[in-house]
Amino acid sequence: MATQFRDLTRTCVLNGVSAPKWESLVQELKKRNPSISDDEVGSQVWAALRPLFATHPAEKNLPQYVPTAVLSGIISLRVLTIGLLTQPFVGSSTSSLSELSLLDQLVQHVISALMSRGPPPYILLPTPSEGTLEDVLNAIHSGIHLVKFVANLRTQALAHHPALSATLSMHTLLLLLYALNSVPGLDALSLNDATDLQAHLAEIAVVLASSVEESSSTAQRIGEWSHQISFHVYRLQGAQSDAPTSTRLSQAAVIYNSRAPGSFQDVALPEGSELACSVTIQRLVNVNPGAGSSVSATGDLLALYRSFDMNSAVFVRSLLLTAVHLVSLSRQGERHQAFSKMAAFTIARLPRLLKYVEEIAHQPSPSDDLRTAVSSSLSFVVGDPNLVAACSGRSPEGNATTDGTKELRREDLVFAHHLVHCFAKAELVKDEHVTLASIAPHFPTDRFELDKVRASALDDGVTLEEWFLAKLDSGAFQPDSELVNELLSSYSSHAAFANFAYDSVQAACSEGKLALLAALSRALYLNSDLLDVVCLHIPIAKLIRRMVGFMTGFDFFSANDAQSSLVEFGDLIFFAQVCTLRFKLPVDVAAIQIPSRVSTPLSCLSADDIITTQKWIHSIFSPASEGIDDELQRHTEPLALLRLAPTILVEGFNNQTSDNVHDVLLGGLDYYLSEILRWTLPSVLLALVASIEREGPGAGIRLEALHKLVTSPNCPAPAVQIAGPSILRLLRLPFIEESSITDVKRLCMEIIGAVNTLLNAPSDTGSSSAAPSKSTHADYPRALVHSLLIPKAVPSPLPFGRLSSCAPSAILGALHQQLIPLMLADGRGGVSISKPTTILSAAIVNARPQPPYLLSHLLQEFVPHTLSRIGTLPLPPIPDNITPLVFLIGVSVSSLHSTIQAREAAAAYFERNGSLDSPASEVAKFSQQLDDLIKNFIRWLEVPKVETSSLRSILLQRLRARSEFGSHFGATI
């Protein structure tokens, strides 16, 4: 009977029947034969389709059958995977190019179909067991087939056909991602099956480790699977350990170590626990970039804690060692102040989460047990110079000195103290005033604890406070100076300076001592390391609020020395800006004017501001100017000057007509590099970048100005650290990258080198058109999407690994911007819609369960604004022009629906497992908000009340006509 489906499918293909019509015929036939299983139907359909790809490749409808069959459920993922990967030519060294091309084509069809579904469900740790044992084993065997297939491709087939290497391997890894995501649970899994899958996942992990273009999302999912399997095997075997004495690391941990020169490979954890901890911490960081005490974070940590059949000491030791290990990986090649999210999470938030575990741990005397475990673990971590050195981004092999002792640098000491300090604040060590020596008495800190600062003060016969004040007055706090090195090298020294800084700010604000505040601010914003260690001891947000309050109430016009007061006030503003942006402080930003790209046109200023701006323009850029006089400085309030500084620069460039304009303009920049205006540079640099973008190819003089400012030794590093990402993004715009002018190329390379140096990132050594590094600047997603949308003579596969390394919201935002011209084009855009479609699909597929603010913005702001722009064009809209908009709306709405389902599933999981936070009401409110958003948007499309009503109707018709979107917009599919 089941052969009916094979015959029907073959007949439809050969007679040109469309895929949707064929689907309806198959569904009708299934209704008439309810006794035939779905797997049998799928197998027969596949048996009909597979030979046709080889014998009838010219059939134009044939490629649509596989995606249609997958989306409709006629062919299950398991049947298709096994059908694809058990072909005799898979993994064979004698495979022909046509056979591999056929396989690549089929896999592409499957991936395209699966991506159009929207994001896969987010599976929590541990995965709820809601499926049958048969479902679990079927999906597992599919995954094993995929693992073997990729391994064979790497080792055999693709060695003979390298042209297919990138596309086929990547498509297959994505298919593996879906196979893994389809597994509902592991609780019913036998030990033999779990061990079998564990071995094959280790095999694919090794393949991924050697792959250059791997999919990070697939690697992460494999890691999650491996750690769940490890836990399951661990429990089934009944293995327990009272101390981390195992000498073997798992395959994944070995891979982590192989990618991090100098990491501590000899530190072993209980079998299976190191991978579990690392994956959990990574997930906590990815899902919870904020406080770390949310439902998701605590739930994941508690699930991990309950997965261990061991006491709290082993759990804490495993978690802390893994956390330190991950910090070391995130620090490789970076300076101490460049905290990654992983490092910041581990140091600052892990103690809070462990404190939360302590409160709910169901064991006798949890407080004493946990505190003892923390103290013991901290002693082990900070007492090992190799571990501490690895966290500072250095190789342990470089620690040994000539006398055989271990040489420690200030980064080592700062990290160790920071870790201990955070656990002390969380009250997880008994003494809140704990020192490094009390935690790790064997930690070699003798040379640092001599406290040269106090000794110097005693030698000078002054108090420590007087000694610090004298050093501030003399300007001794220069980067990498001996004084700064001494402060950073000793915990007691930088603790003393932190206390001095806090007390001085409080006293100076009360007594109106602007000079002292300025000197202290300058010392801190010029020394990032010093600012870091100060933040270990004092609440920086409280400090900034106090200074902002002082600035808003300061009577500048009554100051005796106008120039000195302006410079000193500028130091306060600069310090507040740097701290606010760097530490994301919730302070009154209106008082300090956070830098932006906005330079207000003269016509939009008040009459007084116009007069002030024109006077400054004349003083800085006029050939007849004799400089900035004291009267102008005295009558310009610093906060007003901060607001007007970008306008002064931009208008100064716009208004030049003299013959020597080049020398006048570049000469005027010297004022911005002087003490008088140096503190305005963050806003000035951002405004200059925006001005260059507006001018396009004619912005030569502005590019020279940017070069002079950024490469000057007088340019303060914090200014470039604030504006650097925007500068790097600017230099990768087409009109600059494609310029054939040698001077432009030279200027760009020198600017990039200077910015990267100040950002502590590697400089580009090749052409500026090279793909930007994610660690180099924050606009990597936009640059990546821009490079992918550029038409190429020879099509190349999309780099799914690079795409999945970006936040989905960043990819969506970049696509929204890049596709606006295409939506408004007249049909000659030159960009195929298939590539943006695939990019957006990849971003959505890899989405994490976070509030979809960008998708909400898409429906509430972006779509209405774009429709209004299209409606005002003189030409009637061409239907193909709104295809990108149809796709963006469709995928976004389906993603919102998937987010609702994922949140509700998470709430159900936490309710089943007795979460303390009871998020059900919050999830219900969240789901209702998203549901209302979608309904209101669809209602807006349906109501024809404005001039864009025809476009709305077209959009709604297109959305309902597409099978993958129709059900989300009220159509019956």
pLDDT at 111 (0 to 100): 53
443 within 8 A of 437, measured Cβ to Cβ: yes
Strand, helix or coil at 305?
helix
Average pLDDT, stretch 339-363?
Answer: 55
Indicate the range of 6-20, 419-433, 439-453, 835-849 predicted with least confidence: 835-849
Percent share of the chain, pLDDT over 90? 0
- pLDDT at residue 971 tops 50: yes
pLDDT at 931 (0 to 100): 79
Residue 220 CB neighbours (<10 A): 17
pLDDT at 617 (0 to 100): 86
Average pLDDT, stretch 463-490?
Answer: 78
Indicate the range of 30-44, 518-532, 553-567, 897-911 predicted with least confidence: 897-911
Query: How do the domains of the chain map onto residue ranges?
Result: 1-58, 76-238, 269-443, 452-591, 641-778, 784-973
pLDDT at 235 (0 to 100): 45
pLDDT at 890 (0 to 100): 75
List the structure tokens of 578: 């740097």
Query: What is the 3-state composition of the chain as percent helix, strand, coil, each rounded to the nearest 5?
Result: 70, 0, 30
pLDDT at 456 (0 to 100): 78
- pLDDT at residue 240 tops 50: no
Percent share of the chain, pLDDT over 70? 40
pLDDT at 292 (0 to 100): 36
pLDDT at 392 (0 to 100): 58
pLDDT at 51 (0 to 100): 78
Strand, helix or coil at 400?
strand
pLDDT at 340 (0 to 100): 44
Average pLDDT, rounded, for the chain: 64
Indicate the range of 163-172, 575-584, 675-684 predicted with least confidence: 163-172
- pLDDT at residue 719 tops 80: yes
Strand, helix or coil at 368?
helix
- pLDDT at residue 903 tops 80: no
Higher pLDDT: 368 or 542? It is: 542
- pLDDT at residue 118 tops 60: no
Which among 816, 824, 798 has a CA at the least distance from the CA of 882?
824
Which among 275, 300, 175 has a CA at the least distance from the CA of 225?
275
CA distance 410 to 61: 67
Indicate the range of 136-140, 202-206, 621-625 predicted with least confidence: 136-140
Angle of helix 780-789 relative to helix 834-845, nearest 10 degrees, comes to: 150
Q: Please list the alpha-helical segments (H only) found in 461-599.
A: 464-473, 482-489, 491-511, 514-525, 528-535, 540-553, 562-583
pLDDT at 797 (0 to 100): 44
Q: pLDDT for 790-827, tens place per residue? A: 655 544 444 544 554 555 556 666 666 665 554 444 33
- pLDDT at residue 482 tops 60: yes
Average pLDDT, stretch 423-427?
Answer: 71
pLDDT at 586 (0 to 100): 64
pLDDT at 623 (0 to 100): 76
pLDDT category at 917 given cuts 50, 70, 90 is very low
Higher pLDDT: 763 or 49? It is: 49
CA distance 109 to 159: 24
Higher pLDDT: 246 or 295? It is: 295
Average pLDDT, stretch 423-438?
Answer: 65
781 within 8 A of 823, measured Cβ to Cβ: no
Q: pLDDT for 828-856, tens place per residue? A: 334 444 455 445 444 443 444 344 444 55
- pLDDT at residue 337 tops 50: no
78 within 8 A of 68, measured Cβ to Cβ: no
CA distance 374 to 354: 9
Q: pLDDT for 27-73, tens place per residue? A: 888 888 888 888 788 888 888 887 776 676 666 677 778 778 877 77
Q: Please list the alpha-helical segments (H only) found in 361-451.
A: 366-382, 385-391, 410-425, 436-439
Average pLDDT, stretch 635-642?
Answer: 82
- Look at the pTM and tell me if it is higher than 0.75: no
Average pLDDT, stretch 522-551?
Answer: 79
Which among 368, 265, 369, 380 has a CA at the least distance from the CA of 310?
369
Indicate the range of 262-266, 691-695, 726-730 predicted with least confidence: 262-266
Indicate the range of 133-147, 454-468, 657-671, 924-938 predicted with least confidence: 133-147
Which among 304, 295, 309, 299 has a CA at the least distance from the CA of 323?
304
Indicate the range of 506-510, 779-783, 916-920 predicted with least confidence: 916-920
CA distance 181 to 122: 8
Indicate the range of 81-95, 326-340, 559-573 predicted with least confidence: 326-340
CA distance 255 to 609: 60
- pLDDT at residue 225 tops 50: yes
CA distance 553 to 559: 13
Higher pLDDT: 632 or 55? It is: 632
pLDDT at 606 (0 to 100): 85
Q: Residue by residue, what is the 3-state secondary structure of 760-782?
A: CCCCCCCCCCCCCCCCCCCCHHH
